[in-house]
Structure 1
Amino acid sequence: MSDNVGKAEDFKKQAEKKLKGFGFFGNKYEDAAELFEKAANNFKLAKCWNDAVYCYEQLAECQLKSDSKHDAATAFVEASKCAAKLQPEKATNLLQKAVSLYTDMGRLNMAARQLKEIAEVNEKQGLKSEAITFYEQAADLFETEGSTSEATKCKLKIAEFSGEMGSYKRAVEIYEEAAKAAVENNLLKFSARGYLLNAGICYICYCSADDLDIKIAKYKDIDLQFEGSREAMLLDNVLEAFQETSVEKFATALADFDRVIRLDAWKTKILLEAKRRLESMAAGAEDEEEDLQ
């Protein structure tokens, strides 16, 4: 380990000396770049992350001086990976530099992948609003490049976070769109019912029971396999609970479904919000009955 640090420090000093010296036709930047790369690799092996970040950044700047944008973008990506160990915010900034270079070169697919990476960094930090912004940008570029499956993955993340943050309408739109696309693809068609269920449980968080009834019928038209499925039965039972403002029926519907298909954390969170809404509706109905007596 100490041997790697010693080598890295030596390479870094040589690289910095090269930059301070004279050079012809950009050769000093090429020579310095080679030395900074060696220094960065050794710092990385020694887990000296901040020093590795510095050397990768210097490498990127040398590559830019040599008009090697692709290599510079690669260096910024490597710098970001090291920065992510200790400085997530800096990691995001470095990836944005890579995105800018890839975009300038017309490498939109590479730019999209880095935007997705930025979104994932923000997601790990719990910064969901920020993650949504970068997933949106990534999805747009993936679609431009015809990478439909990658764009869909980004959009599903947006739907997931939108639902968690109470933006139910947006989540519903994305899940419905994903379901429509899935039924057209033999490899993905079995995912459609899951997307429709997610859309339905988000929908009940803000719509009326009558509107949910119409929505469920629409879902059965979108996916002909949806009717009679466990997912459809859950939405039908939830609808009945809301029509009767019965918290007990709602709880029973979830328990019945959960015994066969485990409710994941996301669905549980959204359904808890739906239950709170139903409880509020039930309490309001009780108050009206008392006023009439």
Structure 2
Amino acid sequence: MGDQISRGEELVKKAEKKLNGWGFFGSKYYDAAHLLHKAADCFEPAESWDQVGAVYVKLASCHQKLDHKHEVARAYDIAVDYYKMTKNLKEAISSLEKAAYLFLSGHWKAKRDQRTLPELAIVYYQKTADLFQSMDLTSFANQCRQKIAEYSAKVGKYQRSIMMFEEIATYSIRNNLLKYGVRGHLLNAGICQLCRGDVVAINNALERYQILDTTFSGTRECKFLMGLAAAIDKRDDAEFTSCLKEYDSTIKLVNLNLYFLGSINLHTFYDASFISFNKMNGGHWLFSR
């Protein structure tokens, strides 16, 4: 195995020499990439995972020079997997961030990749969450899961959002430093329940939330969800808008997303009262934090 590592290191040196030398147009980058692939093939059977990861980072740089953006992202993506094997969190996250930027920046999208930006974001936040979880860094993993929940809701995957928000709430209730945020996570889960248009499901969920957090029943968030559910059940747009205004008067809804509450109203009251309420509030809503 030592011979394999030595051979791989020699190939990396040759690749670096090629990169630092003169080459006709992009030829030196192609040549260096070829040498780096051979180096990775040497390091892999020796299970020198950090060195394989480093080789793929170098490969990403070669592809960047050749403007092969898909290959750049793919090389960083592969590097992440190898760095994870040695729990090299710093390099894994660095590579993951670079891959995610290429996929999510909007500057490039593979022709055959029909996924939307939110769907691509879900993929990379999930990889990051898995990475943090593999290091037992659950709090950091949950920050990524919150993003997954938000993006999942944007593409209509409400059940996944609900599951994520409920998992975060369940973890947070056990942590004295995070307990205060539980009501916000349950509020977000409840709004996603409402987006599904199933009043029975939201009422059942509210019962579960009050068992999970014994203080939840007395919170404004719980009363707000109950009020919205009741208004939707009765198809009462005046009551729906009144519920929104009452909550907004005490806890500003600047952190709730127009799309999600708007989609509830589209299915029930044809959007009229909600549009009026949204104009009153400036129309800038994001998920509750």
TM exceeding 0.5: yes
Residue equivalent to 2:103: 122
Structure 2 counterpart SS, 1:227: helix
- Answering whether residue 181 of structure 2 is matched by residue 191 of structure 1, we say yes
Displacement, 1:52? 12
- Answering whether residue 70 of structure 2 is matched by residue 89 of structure 1, we say yes
Structure 1 counterpart SS, 2:257: helix
**Residues 30 and 196 (structure 1 numbering): CA distance in 2 closer, same or farther, change over 3 Å?**
closer
Where does structure 2 lack aligned partners over 5 or more consecutive residues? 1-5, 107-115, 273-289
Identity %: 27
Where does structure 1 lack aligned partners over 5 or more consecutive residues? 1-23, 40-49, 283-293
Displacement, 1:172? 0.7
The one-letter code matched in structure 2 to 1:150 is F
Q: Deviations over 1:173-232 (max 9, x none)?
A: 111111011010111111111110000000011243333223223212212332332322
- Answering whether residue 199 of structure 2 is matched by residue 209 of structure 1, we say yes
Residue equivalent to 1:223: 213
Q: Decide which structure has greater helix share.
A: 1
Residue equivalent to 2:54: 74
Q: How does 1:35-114 map to 2 (within 5 A)?
A: 35=17, 60-61=36-37, 64=40, 67=43, 69-74=49-54, 76-77=56-57, 80=60, 83=64, 89-103=70-84, 105-107=85-87, 109=89, 113=93, 114=95
Measure, in 1, the Cα distance between the counterparts of 2:118 and 2:173.
29
Q: How does 1:1-293 map to 2 (within 5 A)?
A: 29=11, 31-32=13-14, 35=17, 60-61=36-37, 64=40, 67=43, 69-74=49-54, 76-77=56-57, 80=60, 83=64, 89-103=70-84, 105-107=85-87, 109=89, 113=93, 114-115=95-96, 118-119=99-100, 121-125=102-106, 127-264=117-254, 267-279=257-269
Measure, in 1, the Cα distance between the counterparts of 2:135 and 2:52.
22
| Contact map agreement 2:49 2:82 (CA 8 A) in 1 | yes
Measure, in 1, the Cα distance between the counterparts of 2:104 and 2:256.
15
| Contact map agreement 1:143 1:151 (CA 8 A) in 2 | yes
Larger radius of gyration: 1
| Contact map agreement 2:169 2:186 (CA 8 A) in 1 | yes
Residue equivalent to 2:286: none
TM-score by length of 2: 0.68
Measure, in 1, the Cα distance between the counterparts of 2:58 and 2:228.
49
| Contact map agreement 1:238 1:250 (CA 8 A) in 2 | yes
**Residues 210 and 34 (structure 1 numbering): CA distance in 2 closer, same or farther, change over 3 Å?**
closer
Displacement, 1:100? 4.0
Of structures 1 and 2, the one scoring higher in RCO (CA 8 A, sep 6+) is: 2
| Contact map agreement 1:226 1:232 (CA 8 A) in 2 | yes
Displacement, 1:153? 2.3
| Contact map agreement 1:175 1:198 (CA 8 A) in 2 | yes
**Residues 26 and 131 (structure 1 numbering): CA distance in 2 closer, same or farther, change over 3 Å?**
closer
The one-letter code matched in structure 1 to 2:206 is I
**Residues 243 and 26 (structure 1 numbering): CA distance in 2 closer, same or farther, change over 3 Å?**
closer
TM-score by length of 1: 0.67
Measure, in 2, the Cα distance between the counterparts of 1:192 and 1:89.
39
